[in-house]
Amino acid sequence: MPINRKTSLGQIRISDGAIASLAGTTVNECYGVVGMISKNYLADGYSALLKKENYSKGIVVKNDKAGIKIDVYVVISYGVKISEVVAQLQERVKYALEKSLNMDVDCVNVHIEGIQVNE
């Protein structure tokens, strides 16, 4: 469900795909994150890391009265402290979206779908 706003100059619509793209860019900049994976990777039949044009497959955006809710599906690097990576990811995504959209982000849920050993 896109975000709709009315201003004195007209109406603004921000699609879920645009929000997912912004969040995905922020996720991939976080330390310890190898990449994002499709939320339906078992049904899709592949588990390849998503590229920039497919970020919306790895992020679910829900918009309600409390604010925006984000679900992120990631693969993290082996050997990092999972709790620290997740906390950093949640803070950075929340900050980026609140700063860009000027809306409250209610929660950022992180789903770790795999751990990858970097050689």
- What pLDDT score does 87 carry? 95
pLDDT in tens, 50-65: 665 666 678 889 888 8
pLDDT in tens, 16-49: 888 988 998 899 889 998 888 876 665 555 456 6
Which range of residues forms the domain containing residue 66?
Answer: 3-116
pLDDT in tens, 68-95: 899 999 889 999 999 999 999 999 999 9
Number of domains in the chain: 1
- What pLDDT score does 57 carry? 74
- What pLDDT score does 4 carry? 82
- Is pLDDT of 114 > 90? no
- What pLDDT score does 113 carry? 85
Q: CATH number of the domain at 101, please.
A: 3.30.70.1350
In contact, 111 and 74? CB cutoff 8 Å: yes
